Amino acid sequence: MSDSTRGGGPAPGGGRRDGYGGGAAVLSAGIGMTGLVTYAYFALASYALDDDAYGRVTLLWSAVFIVVSVLYRPVEQLLSRTIAEREARGQRGGAHLRVATQVQLALALAFAVGVLASRERLEQGLFDGSKALYWVFVVSVLAYAASYFARGFLAGHRRFGLYGALVLMESLSRVLFPLAVAVGIAAGEATVALGIAAAPIVSLAVVPWALARRIGSPPTAAGAPAAALGAAAAGEPSTEAVGGDAEFTLAKGAGFAAAVLLIMVAEQAFLNAGPLIVNATSGPEGAALAGLVFNVLLIARAPLQLFQAIQTSILPHLTRLRVSGDADPFRRSVNATLAATAGFAALVALGLLAVGPALMDVVFDDAFSYGRGGLVLVAVGMGFYLAAATLNQAALARGRARRAAACWLASAAAFVAFLLLPGFGDRVLQVQVAFAGGAAALCGLLYALYRTGNDGRP
């Protein structure tokens, strides 16, 4: 790993080194545990509930995380990138926080208005008439507005330990609810579902720790000249005066957030459209079959939770390298992450080839037979998807959010179109093929974007 990725000493832009490797390691431990605990949540729920009830809980989960990822991760990414960039340039002021708050509140308000206006349709159409599941959905999504804002703030300031504690506390509190049902303390799908709403609220307990301490040292003007020279060397104008805040407007912040929002729409199509489309197009068996599809895609979802550690730490890291003009460390960081994801995906694929069907039969209490080839196919797709996520962060760090969004939307549209093709007898295999093919196409498009204009500039 290059010097610019190690802790200690001044960074090229005059700020601190951001410790990408160390931050990723800390987050990997916390988020790795989070992935295992999340897997335990669904395993316990699978044993505690019948197939229909379990299917409804997985649909609730999918609906919640489609909405919160689409609405709130753009602000998380906006904060992470902007805080890192401003620190590297030696800028002061709080306009970026005010803009992010305005965007987040506007998105939460838009959701509240829309979900209340659509109450009857959601209760009857998505949650089979369950008022409890509807209100868990509403409370969960609103609570995650604060959680994702905190994540972006912590990531931008490199407080990766607290970030990991936040997501780990979220998953630990969630799993207590199906555990209570499994041991007989409580009963019913509503109790299991309630954990989805409680988790983001409980996780905010880490926020006072973040606010109680001074986060980092305030950037000084000393780092700004080097940052400005680095930006000039990269062919990019220095958009803000040193220490100033005038250039960070609502339009600027909202424009970046809007492009990332489109990326999140496409991302959630890859991760959650499968169960939703299967549920809507498979008749009376839709809910149970959707649960099976969800179980299969957990092979991709659980590693993606672990990879969230890399995504969270690499965006501010690459942003600082771009500001400083360090082209070689930028490329090395991206290439090393791509190599690590390829190796990880290969190990997962080999493991599933060896014991995949038996493992799925043990973990999930259902009578479905999981095909070995289909499980390996999902693992391969997961590898392409992780690589695409890395290339996406590189694009965001370079300010290419709109072009990255176009790549995501084209690939997601192809993925959904394949899922809607009639005459595919095995719906689970159809989702597996669509995921692997769509992820490969996405990776190819984002790699082409990464190579475009890669003339030595970060």
Q: What is the pLDDT along the chain (458 residues), one digit of tens a residue?
A: 333 333 333 333 333 444 555 555 666 666 667 778 888 898 899 888 888 888 889 889 888 988 998 899 899 999 988 888 888 887 776 778 888 899 999 999 999 999 999 999 999 888 888 899 999 999 999 999 999 999 988 888 888 888 888 888 899 999 999 999 988 888 888 999 999 999 999 988 877 876 665 444 444 333 333 333 343 333 333 333 333 444 666 767 778 889 999 998 998 888 878 888 888 777 666 677 777 787 777 777 766 766 766 777 788 888 888 887 767 888 888 998 899 888 888 988 898 888 877 777 666 655 566 777 878 888 899 999 999 999 999 999 888 999 999 999 999 999 999 988 887 777 888 888 999 999 999 999 999 999 886 544 55
pTM: 0.73
pLDDT for position 179: 93
Per-domain boundaries in the chain: 17-451
The answer to whether 160 touches 23, Cβ cutoff 8 Å, is yes
Sign of CA dihedral 5, 320, 73, 398: negative
Q: Which amino acid is at 416?
A: V
Which residues, including other chains, have CB under 8 Å from residue 222's CB and lie 6 or more apart? 14, 90
Instruction: Specify which residues 154 forms β-bridges with.
Output: none
Rounded Cα distance, 127 and 319, in Å: 42
CB atoms within 10 A of CB 172: 17
Least Cα distance to 341 among 397, 297, 389, 270 occurs for 389
Instruction: Yes or no: say if 418 and 432 are a contact pair by the CB < 8 Å rule.
Output: no
Q: Tell me whether residue 349 is exposed, middle or buried, using C-beta atoms within 10 angstroms of its C-beta: 0 to 12, 13 to 18, 19 or more.
A: buried
